[in-house]
Amino acid sequence: MKHYDYIVCGAGCAGLTFLYEILSLQNLQQKKVLVIDSNLQKENDRTWCFWEKGNSRFENLVYHKWENLHFNSTHFSSTLNIKPCVYKQIIGIDFYNYVLDFAKQFSNVTFIKEEIIGIENENNLGCVKTNSGTFTAEYIFNSTFITTTRNDFKTPNSLLQHFKGIEIETTENYFNTQQATFMDFSISQNLGTAFVYVLATSPTKALVEYTFFTKNILLQNEYDNLLKDYINNTLKIKDYKITHTEFGVIPMTDFVFEKYNNRIINIGTVGGAVKASTGFTFKNIQKQIQQIVALLEQNKKPYLKRSFTDRKFHLYDSVLLEVIAKNKMKGDEIFAAIFKKNKPQLVLKFLDNETNIFEDLKIMSSVPTRIFLPIAIQKLLNTWR
C-alpha cells in the first residue's frame, strides 16, 4: 500500500486545476501527490467558454475573446456589449497539455493511468482502490463519479444540458470575430429549451454548437442533422469542412452535492461546480479550487461549507429548473425577458452567483411573479419542514 499527501482522482478540468494550483504554491508544491485517471492520453474533447473581468488564471491559454454577445430569440434580439467583462474561450487540449507539462518538473508528482474502482475513508485516511492496488492519502480530491452516481443527480425537476458542436472552416470570409452568438433561440423549441451558439475565431472559422435543456438526449445523427440545417439555412453557409467535433451532457440539477466526507473532497462537477440553470462550470471550478487550496495553504481542513449565498442561488436555480421542467414558461422567453430588461453586465453577474439581494430582485422582476413566486415559496416551506 502506498501513501501520499494528496491523491487526485480524475485528471480533467477540476483535477488538473487543483494540481496546477498546489504546484504553484511554495508551501504546497513539495507535497507527495498521486494523480489517477483512466485516460491520461488527453484528447481535444471540449472547449471552455466563460466571462470575466480582468485576467484569467489561465490567461496565456485564452484562444479568443469577445466583448460583444449576440442574443437572438423571437421575443428579443440584440447585440450586447459586456465591457468590462470579456467572453473568453480556452481549448481543452491546450489546458491539459499546459498543466501536464508544468507538472513534469515535479518529481514528487506521480501519474498512473488506471480505472478507479473505489474511494473510501479508512482508519482516518483517504483510500483509493484500483485493479493494481490500494493507495492512501491525507486527502483525496475526487472529480470522478465513484462517490456519487449519475442517478443521484436525478431529481423531479432535473434536466440534462446536452449539446453537440462542430468547428467549421469556410473557404470564403464569413464570420465576424468581434462578436459571439451567445444564445440563438430562433430555432425550434418543440423538444424543449434549445439554442445555438456560434463562436467565430477567424473570418473563416467558428464553433457552432446546438444545445438543449431537456430530460433526454438525442441520437448523434439528430444533432448532426440539426447542425447541418442551422449552418445551411440560418447561417446560409453551404461550403464548409468540419475540423473538430465535441459532444457533452451536463447535469442541470437541484441535487445537493456532498462537498466533503472526512478525507474525501469532491471537486468539479461532482463537487457541485455546475451552475444548475446554465451549465456553466469552468469558472466555478477555478473559484472552488482556489478556495480549497487557500484552506490547505493555511493548514486547515479543505472543507467548503454551504454559505448563505450558495443556498440562495441554489433556490433560484431550483425554481428556474422547475419552471422549465414543468413547462410553466418556456426557457427562451425567460432568458429573453431577463436580457431585455437588464444590463447584460448585471445578468452575467447574476449568472455568476455574485449579485446582492437588491440586484436579485431587479432580475426577478423581469419574469412573471405569478409563475416564479409560488414555486419559490413552496420550496422555502419544504426546506423548513
Ligand X SMILES: Cc1cc2nc3c(=O)[nH]c(=O)nc-3n(C[C@H](O)[C@H](O)[C@H](O)COP(=O)(O)OP(=O)(O)OC[C@H]3O[C@@H](n4cnc5c(N)ncnc54)[C@H](O)[C@@H]3O)c2cc1C
Beta carbons within 8 Å of 247's beta carbon, 6+ residues apart: 162, 163, 164, 165, 220, 223
Minimum distance of ligand X from residue 49's CB (angstroms):
4
- Residue 252 or 367: the one with the smaller Cβ distance to ligand X is 252
Asked whether the beta carbons of 121 and 263 are under 8 A apart, the reply is yes
- Residue 39 or 365: the one with the smaller Cβ distance to ligand X is 39
Which cell goes with 230?
Answer: 442551422
- Residue 115 or 122: the one with the smaller Cβ distance to ligand X is 115
Which cell goes with 205?
Answer: 472559422
- Residue 211 or 372: the one with the smaller Cβ distance to ligand X is 211
Name the 3-class secondary structure at 242. strand
Q: What sign results for the dihedral spanned by CA atoms 306, 308, 313, 314?
A: positive
User: What are residue 160's DSSP bridge partners?
Assistant: 214, 251
> 25 phi and psi, to 5 degrees?
-110, 130
Minimum distance of ligand X from residue 180's CB (angstroms):
11
The residue ranges that bind ligand X (CB under 6 A) are 10-15, 36-39, 46-50, 115-116, 143-146, 246, 248, 250, 268-269, 280-282, 285
Minimum distance of ligand X from residue 46's CB (angstroms):
4
Minimum distance of ligand X from residue 328's CB (angstroms):
26
Minimum distance of ligand X from residue 91's CB (angstroms):
11
Question: Measured between alpha carbons, how far is 119 from 273 in angstroms, rounded to an integer?
Answer: 20
Question: Measured between alpha carbons, how far is 362 from 29 in angstroms, rounded to an integer?
Answer: 45
Minimum distance of ligand X from residue 277's CB (angstroms):
13
- Residue 145 or 328: the one with the smaller Cβ distance to ligand X is 145
> 49 phi and psi, to 5 degrees?
-120, 145
- Residue 281 or 318: the one with the smaller Cβ distance to ligand X is 281
CA–chain centroid gap for 241, Å, is 28
Minimum distance of ligand X from residue 221's CB (angstroms):
18
User: What are residue 228's DSSP bridge partners?
Assistant: none
Minimum distance of ligand X from residue 145's CB (angstroms):
6
- Residue 214 or 375: the one with the smaller Cβ distance to ligand X is 214
Asked whether the beta carbons of 88 and 51 are under 8 A apart, the reply is yes
Which cell goes with 329?
Answer: 414558461
Minimum distance of ligand X from residue 81's CB (angstroms):
21
Neighbours of 52 (CB within 10 A): 17
- Residue 246 or 360: the one with the smaller Cβ distance to ligand X is 246
Residue of closest CB approach to ligand X: 12
- Residue 159 or 337: the one with the smaller Cβ distance to ligand X is 159
DSSP state letter for 168: E
